[in-house]
Copies of this chain bind each other. A is one copy, B any other.
Amino acid sequence: MDFLVRIDTSRVHDLPADDHADLVRRERHRGRELMAEGVLRRLWRLPGKRANIGLWSADDADALEEALDSLPIRPYADIEVTALATHPLTAEGPLPR
């Protein structure tokens, strides 16, 4: 199942500089792992915002929760989850990337 996930990371920027740098480093590492697992499929920054928006895939909401809970920034993040359903247009065959 696909989910659109918006993660606001504003509060991360209130951390002391060292903690902030360390957290970003650990977060990037975990992000790479989730990409390799095919859970995090696409990721963008929202211009001007301290937030990202990504395409996540998981069996269901529980599996998504587990993945989100594994993010080091989880305690500082405000997250909006939008469940996505297949569009008839794409049901007739995968979209070119």
Contacts and interface: CB of A to CB of B under 8 A. Distances in A.
Given A48-B80, A53-B4, A79-B48, A42 B86 contact: no
Copies in the assembly, this chain:
10
Interface in A27-77: 28, 31-32, 35-36, 38, 40-49, 52-55, 60-62, 64-65, 68, 75
Interface residues of A, number: 48
Contact of A40 (B1, B45, B49, B95): B95
A35 B97 CA distance: 9
Nearest to A43: B87
Interface string A9-37: 00001000000000000001001100110
A45 to B, nearest CB: 4
